[in-house]
Amino acid sequence: MKERLGITVSIVLYNEDLEELTKTINCFLNIPISKKLYLIDNSGSSTLKQKFKQKEIEYITVGKNIGFGAGHNMILDKIKLNSRYHLILNPDVIFSPSVIPNLILELGKNENISMIAPKVLFPDGQHQYSCRRYPLVSELLARRFTFLNPIFKRKIFEGQYKDRNLSEDFFVEYITGCFHLYKTDDFVKLKGFDERYFLYMEDVDICKKIDGLGKKKLYYPKEEIIHVLKQGSSKDIKLFLLHISSAIKYFLKWGF
């Protein structure tokens, strides 16, 4: 039987900034374990195929924008029995070569943990509060409509675990999806992301699915990454409406 790779990674692309993407890919190529990266391009073209020809990279042209979750799910059959761990990675993330090996060591210590994620920082060093409690309708509304923020300030505070010591690792309800490191067997068992979400809320949904396996998600702040975080839905009306649509689907599925 073919020996499994240490890790596989998938990045879904859509008209990405080439400089940011190159930095992210170089971070991956520098990790000192056996690996393979799948670039799933939703952009409708294959112009980036000529940019990344390293043997550890497989470029997949989709031909159209099928969404975040469906894009990552394209490689489920490819990683099944092919890697021990699988990383869901955004194209605008920077990390040191030691981050992934250290997270793998921690993830492997406990069979009841399906997914682990590090502390996430903005490029200016500010905390991104990537680990959160499951969202409430009131909290999501307050995040989108600033005049509601003072009314639900406490809920937002608690929703971001600001009432916890975020310098210590602990099991969380959900982790935002820029960097999810899974045990591959569990990610396959979950059947990846729910493709009913075109964009947004699929990271919350898959954490709910992990609960359904009777397993946990670990926030591990001893390791840190940098995430640009474009916050498109707060700037673009189409993305905003997509976010609202995904939130409705989420609450209809899991309850209000």
Residue 178: is it exposed, middle or buried by C-beta count within 10 angstroms (0-12/13-18/19+)? Answer: buried
pLDDT at 151: 65
CA distance 195 to 187: 14
| pLDDT surpassing 80 at residue 234 | no
pTM (predicted TM-score): 0.93
CA distance 184 to 145: 38
pLDDT at 74: 97
CA distance 256 to 248: 9
Q: With contact defined as beta carbons under 8 Å apart, do 158 and 129 qualify?
A: no
Question: 121 Cβ partners below 8 Å, 6+ apart?
Answer: 127, 128, 224, 225, 226, 227
Block residue for tokens 């020809």: 53
CA distance 251 to 145: 19
| pLDDT surpassing 90 at residue 229 | no
Helix, strand, coil percent values for the chain (each to nearest 5): 35, 25, 40
Tokens of 15: 């008209």
84 in helix, strand or coil?
A: strand
> What residues make up the domain containing 9?
5-254
| pLDDT surpassing 60 at residue 179 | yes
CATH number at residue 143: 3.90.550.10
DSSP code, position 81:
T
CA distance 224 to 22: 19
Q: Which secondary-structure segment (H or E) carries 20?
A: helix 18-29
pLDDT at 46: 82
Query: Each residue of 183-218: pLDDT tens digit?
Result: 999 999 999 999 999 999 999 999 999 999 999 999
| pLDDT surpassing 90 at residue 236 | no
Note the Cα 67 to chain centre separation in Å. Answer: 14
pLDDT at 125: 96
Instruction: Give the number of domains in the chain.
Output: 1
Sign of CA dihedral 213, 81, 42, 98: positive
Cβ atoms within 10 A of the Cβ of 121, count? 17
pLDDT at 235: 58
